[in-house]
Amino acid sequence: MTSRRDFFKKASAFGVLSTISPVFGEELEQERLITTDLIEKASRKIAHLSPEEAAKDEDFWYWVQKAFVQSPNFINLENGYCSPQPLETMNALFKNIQLMNELPSFYMRRNQNPDREEVKKQLAKLAGVSSEEIMITRNTTEALETIIFGLQTLKEGDEVIMTNQDYGSMLEAFYLRARRYGSKNVIISLPLHPKSNKEIVDCYEKAITPRTKVILVTHMINLTGQILPVREIAEMAHSKGIEIISDSAHAFAHIDFKIPDLQCDYFGTSLHKWLSTPLGAGMMYIKKDKIKNIWGLYGETGFADDDIRKFERIGTHPCWTNLTISNAIRFHHAIGAKRKEARLRYLKNYWAEKLKNNPKILINVPLEAERSCGLGNVAVIGKTPTQLADILYDKYRIFTVGIETEAVNGIRVTPHLYTTLEELDAFVKAMEEIAKT
Ligand SMILES: Cc1ncc(COP(=O)(O)O)c(C=O)c1O
């Protein structure tokens, strides 16, 4: 924990105190509200550094850490499920709730649609696509299941390729679709430590038959953190007339990319993961000329078949969450997408590099920069993942999650921007002690 004196010492050393207004001075004293403006100012001071150099500038990350308020009672290394919001974003959410509570139906009737369109424009810009190709959803599940259940091109007997490392809900959706409409799921395995992109692309290519219509690709595998070469898989698939669904739940606003880089046809993500929005925000993307191929889950015939708004008749919902996406986008830009990616990768490498040579420890995530970022997976030989996660929490108050699957066994370790190196040192020490037992 940083004492108040340390806090002010760091503030003046980094030159941020001079930029603080009197009101903000009071807030600083409470050691609480680090605004997006302040992060922007701090970012400008390190603009001359490469993202990899900036990733190691602890003075800068100190400010980012302070923008979040987290429980001091344990070390949270399970930020893969969902992200906390920076305090400023959470305050914006409260204001938006207040606003809509003061003028509920008035807001819904007059402002809801134009406001949503404005947020969609900002999101579309961040994703590098047109706002006519995206929909704000509640999460990846809603985005991808809209696509999976809506695919009109998938007929009885047609095949879909997926892997035993894809996310359970997407596999379940395809199982249900297969039961209802007779499509066939072809489940393949992928290596935990591939030597090249080609090795991965080959795994998909070998499973293709004349009946293959769709490939589901998990952009960043949630079990291990491995990043898959979506673009290369898409290029191979498209050359055979096969469509690609990218499950980018963990990749968006975590690694720096634009959706067109992936060359995918369909895409879903959760904004409450790495964009740090309030819970219940996601994004669906469908390439403009493919929108007509997807049936809506909810009735809406007022828009043309190729109009993304045909999916948006979802009923009354907490649109304060949608509105607050703008604040999260500002925070993301204030840090800088490349800098954020480099920091998350640095944090994963920080613990993984210290543990990787321990003969009792297995690193289940490839460490090459293009193959992973902030998420990782690690095992201790002789302990089940659940035992390991329990010991870490019960004895050391370090929270992770045990992953026990056919494809991988280990604990998932996911630091966040607010994670300190001291916390990772505590994790490394705990793992070394456990490995000795
Ligand atoms: C790869 C992957 N896809 C989909 C999801 C579902 O995300 P959500 O629960 O936000 O819909 C997750 C959640 O962790 C995930 O890791």
Q: Which residues contact 67 (CB under 8 A, 6 or more apart)?
A: 34, 35, 36, 38, 39, 86, 87, 88, 331, 418
Residue 422: inside a domain: no
How far away, in angstroms, is 79 Cα from ligand 1 center?
Answer: 12
- 27 and 159 fall within a common domain: no
279 shares a domain with 178:
yes
Q: Both 200 and 317 in a single domain?
A: yes
Question: Is residue 431 in a domain?
Answer: no
pLDDT at 249: 98
User: In terms of Cα–Cα distance, which of 143, 159, 136, 125 is closest to 319?
Assistant: 136
**Is 178 inside a domain boundary?**
yes
**Do 316 and 245 share a domain, yes or no?**
yes
Nearest CA to ligand 1 atom 12: 249
* DSSP designation for 301: -
Render each residue's pLDDT in the chain as its tens digit; 437 residues.
444 445 545 555 554 444 434 333 444 444 568 999 999 999 999 999 999 999 999 999 999 999 999 999 999 999 999 999 999 999 999 999 999 999 999 999 999 999 999 999 999 999 999 999 999 999 999 999 999 999 999 999 999 999 999 999 999 999 999 999 999 999 999 999 999 999 999 999 999 999 999 999 999 999 999 999 999 999 999 999 999 999 999 999 999 999 999 999 999 999 999 999 999 999 999 999 999 999 999 999 999 999 999 999 999 999 999 999 999 999 999 999 999 999 999 999 999 999 999 999 999 999 999 999 999 999 999 999 999 999 999 999 999 999 999 999 999 999 999 999 999 999 999 999 999 99
Last residue of a domain, one of 331, 358, 378: 331
How would you label 35-55 residue by residue, b for 16+ Cβ within 10 Å and e otherwise?
Answer: bbebbebbbeebeeeebeebb
3-state helix, strand, coil in the chain (%, to 5): 50, 15, 35
Indicate the number of domains in the chain. 2
Please identify, among 331, 353, 369, the residue that sits at the C-terminal boundary of a domain. 331
How far apart are alpha carbons 69 and 209 in whole angstroms? 51
* DSSP at 50: -
C-alpha 71 – ligand 1 centre gap (Å): 24
Query: Phi and psi at residue 203, in whole multiples of 5°?
Result: -60, -45
Residue type, 393: Y
- 134 and 49 both lie in a single domain: no
**Contact between 351 and 428 (Cβ < 8 Å):** yes
Q: Please state the atom number of ligand 1 nearest to the C-alpha of residue 144.
A: 4
pLDDT on residue 24: 36
Closest C-alpha to ligand 1, atom 10:
139
The answer to whether residues 2 and 113 belong to one domain is no
Shared domain check, 296 and 164: yes
**Pocket perturbation via mutation, ligand 1, pick of 144, 222, 271 by most ligand atoms within 8 A of CB:** 222
Q: CA 264, CA 228: separation in Å to the nearest integer?
A: 13
In ligand 1, the atom with minimum distance to the C-alpha of 220 is 1
Local structure of 241: helix, strand or coil: coil
Contact 368, 162 (CB under 8 A): no
d(CA 300, CA 278): 28
User: Which residues line the pocket of ligand 1, CB cutoff 6 A?
Assistant: 139-141, 167, 169, 218, 222, 247, 249-250, 270
The CA 392 to ligand 1 mean position distance, Å, reads: 24
Cβ distance 271 to 80 under 8 Å?
no
My answer on whether 186 and 42 are in the same domain is no
How many other β-carbons are positioned within 10 Å of the β-carbon of residue 23?
9
CA–CA gap between residue 133 and residue 287 (Å, rounded):
6
pLDDT the model gives residue 33: 82
Last residue within a domain, chosen from 67, 85, 103: 67
pLDDT at res. 172: 98
Segment 5-30, tens digit of pLDDT: 455 455 555 544 444 343 334 444 44
Confirm if 300 and 150 have CB atoms less than 8 A apart.
no
Question: Do 59 and 103 fall within a single domain?
Answer: no
Same domain, 61 and 101: no
Same domain, 175 and 298: yes
Minimal-distance CA residue to ligand 1 atom 7: 140
- Measure 336 CA to ligand 1 centroid, in angstroms: 24
CATH number at residue 167: 3.40.640.10
Q: Is residue 156 part of a domain?
A: yes
Which range of residues forms the domain containing residue 157? 93-331
Residue 123 lies in a domain: yes
Q: Are residues 274 and 183 in the same domain?
A: yes
Give domain status of residue 20, yes or no: yes
Among 83, 230, 270, residue to substitute to test ligand 1 (most atoms within 8 Å of Cβ): 270
Assess if residue 78 is contained within a domain. no
CA 101 to centroid of ligand 1, rounded, Å = 30
